[in-house]
């Protein structure tokens, strides 16, 4: 595959992924809008001139547009703020009944929240589907890396070793290895080890380390100093309820991790070098697609959760910014004035554009385009 073919492959894979995620997000807005009797005028995948489209029986124009870098749902009454001196169009009584603007604060908030919400739901369902069909990866007791100056290095463990027993008790999974070692700080343990075609007996003394639990109690745990082999796993298929719970748990864990990452960046505990934009996402999407459809679909679920969470950030222009305005409206009993909303959206637009420029610059540095 030539460099141009390779580049086009990355672009196409990324655009397919982005189109699916945007469609899912906008479908959330559309579905809840229809449930609240709001007329949806346009459902567009992409921006710019229409390439292909049709109008359904509910007068919604479904279309695919020329620039496949996003999309939108346009509802009756969901107008842009008027320019200075321009009066908004007066709606008829029939139009007011199906207008977004004339719905209650709760209805409007539900319609806006539905976009990010369905991204989370999509992530849960994809993780659940993978867990129920392919299974969840359970690491076997194989050693991928031996840490320097660790008990494992001193005892003679090597990458590729597989622990098959500890003190005569069979060991299959890495969690079993971790648990047994953790319960025996400063205690000599006898490991049965499979190394290539031979079986060895290795004795090691896990080093004691103090760990503080969530209850604030400090305990001594043993550390062997090894990391599991990421390529040596066993897939365990889940039943429907187990798969659904795995999807919920996985989505929750990722959401907390993302929020912690953002929080660490804001307080200066973490740099911004790892913050990527479209170019880096395209690179990762291409790599995942090459590894297989499972990895590609997994990435799709990860990005869906990211998309849902980012859209909930309280920044005007994003869904979270709209929700903040609706919250203020609910507290005040009336919406913010047009000027306040206009300034808010302009500030949000500037902030979003600055972020886009920043992450794109990060991408160019990461991909060494700047150096080139």
Going from the N-terminus, what domains does the chain have, and what CATH number goes with each? 103-135+239-372 (no CATH), 138-234 (2.30.42.10)
Q: H or E segment at 72?
A: strand 61-75
- Cβ partners under 8 Å of residue 315, min gap 6: 321, 348, 351, 352
Least confident of 1-15, 196-210, 215-229, 314-328: 1-15
| Each residue's pLDDT tens digit, 223-270 | 999 998 878 888 888 899 999 999 999 999 989 888 887 787 777 776
Strand 40-55 to 162-166 pairing: unpaired
Residues serving a catalytic function are: 26
3-class secondary structure, 319: helix
In angstroms, the CA 75 to CA 368 distance is 43
Mean pLDDT calculated for residue range 115-125:
95
Mean pLDDT computed over 149-174: 92
Structure confidence by residue, pLDDT tens digits, 282-328: 767 777 777 778 888 888 998 899 889 988 988 888 888 889 889 98
Whole-number average pLDDT of the chain: 83
The tokens 């919920």 sit on which residue?
248
Buried b (16+ CB within 10 A) or exposed e, 123-156: bbbbbbebbbeebbeebbbbbbebeeebbbbebe
Question: pLDDT > 90: what percent of the chain?
Answer: 42
When pLDDT is cut at 50, 70 and 90, the band that residue 2 belongs to is very low
What's the mean pLDDT in 178-199?
Answer: 92
Structure confidence at residue 272 (pLDDT): 62
Coil/strand/helix, residue 157: coil
- pLDDT value of position 292: 78
CA atoms of 80 and 342, how far apart (whole Å): 9
8 A C-beta contact, residue 212 and residue 109? no
Q: What is the DSSP string of 278-306?
A: HHHHHHHHHHHHHH-HHHHHHHHHHHHHH
pLDDT given at position 362: 56
What confidence score (pLDDT) does residue 83 get?
45
Question: Among 77-86, 218-227, 262-271, 334-343, where is mean pLDDT lowest?
Answer: 77-86
Average pLDDT over residues 75-89: 59
Instruction: Give the integer Cα–Cα distance in Å for 108 and 35.
Output: 12
> Higher-confidence residue: 240 or 354?
240
Of all residues in the chain, what percent carry a pLDDT higher than 70? 85
pLDDT above 80: residue 188: yes
40-44, 82-86, 170-174: the lowest-pLDDT one: 82-86
Give the pLDDT confidence score for residue 38 in this predicted structure: 93
What pLDDT score was predicted for residue 214? Answer: 64
As given in the structure block, the two tokens for residue 171 are: 């060991």
Q: pLDDT band for 277, please (50, 70, 90 cuts).
A: low
Q: Which residue has the higher pLDDT, 294 or 273?
A: 294
Statement: residue 89 has pLDDT above 70:
no
Q: Strand pairing of 198-204 and 207-212?
A: unpaired
Which pLDDT value is given to residue 371? 47
pLDDT at 87 over 60: no
Q: What pLDDT, on a 0 to 100 scale, did the predictor assign at position 372?
A: 43
What proportions of the chain, in percent to the nearest 5, are helix, strand and coil? 50, 20, 30
Token pair of 106 as six digits: 């709760």
């Amino acid at each position: 595959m030539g460099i141009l073919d390779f580049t086009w492959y990355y672009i196409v894979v990324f655009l397919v992924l982005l189109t699916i995620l945007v469609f899912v997000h906008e479908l959330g807005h559309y579905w809840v809008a229809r449930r609240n009797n709001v007329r949806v005028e346009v459902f567009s995948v992409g921006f710019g001139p229409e390439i292909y489209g049709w109008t359904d029986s509910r007068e919604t124009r479904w279309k695919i547009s020329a620039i496949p870098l996003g999309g939108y749902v346009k509802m009756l009454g969901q107008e842009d703020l008027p320019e200075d001196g321009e009066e908004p169009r007066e709606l008829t009584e029939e139009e007011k009944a199906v207008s977004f603007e004339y719905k209650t604060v709760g209805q409007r908030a539900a319609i806006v929240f539905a976009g990010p919400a369905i991204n989370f739901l999509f992530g849960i369902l994809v993780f659940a589907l993978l867990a129920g069909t392919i299974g969840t990866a359970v690491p076997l007791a194989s050693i991928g890396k031996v840490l320097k100056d660790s008990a494992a290095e001193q005892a003679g463990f090597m990458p590729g070793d597989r622990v098959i027993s500890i003190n005569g008790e069979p060991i299959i999974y890495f969690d079993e290895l971790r648990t047994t070692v953790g319960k025996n700080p400063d205690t000599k343990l006898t490991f049965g080890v499979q190394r290539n075609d031979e079986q060895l007996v290795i004795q090691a003394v896990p080093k004691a380390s103090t760990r503080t639990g969530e209850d604030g109690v400090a305990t001594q745990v043993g550390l062997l100093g090894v990391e599991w082999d990421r390529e040596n796993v066993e897939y365990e298929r889940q039943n429907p309820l187990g798969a659904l719970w795995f999807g919920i748990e996985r989505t929750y864990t990722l959401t907390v991790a993302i929020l912690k990452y953002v929080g660490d960046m804001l307080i200066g505990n973490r740099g911004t070098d790892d913050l990527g934009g479209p170019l880096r996402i395209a690179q990762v999407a291409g790599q995942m697609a090459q590894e297989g459809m499972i990895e590609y679909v997994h990435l799709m679920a990860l990005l869906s959760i990211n998309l849902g969470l980012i859209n909930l950030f309280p920044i005007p222009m994003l869904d979270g910014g709209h929700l903040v305005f609706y919250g203020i409206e609910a507290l005040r009993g009336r919406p913010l004035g047009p000027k306040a909303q206009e300034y808010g959206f302009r500030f949000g637009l500037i902030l979003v554009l600055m972020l886009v420029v920043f992450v794109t610059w990060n991408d160019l540095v990461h991909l060494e385009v700047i150096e080139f």
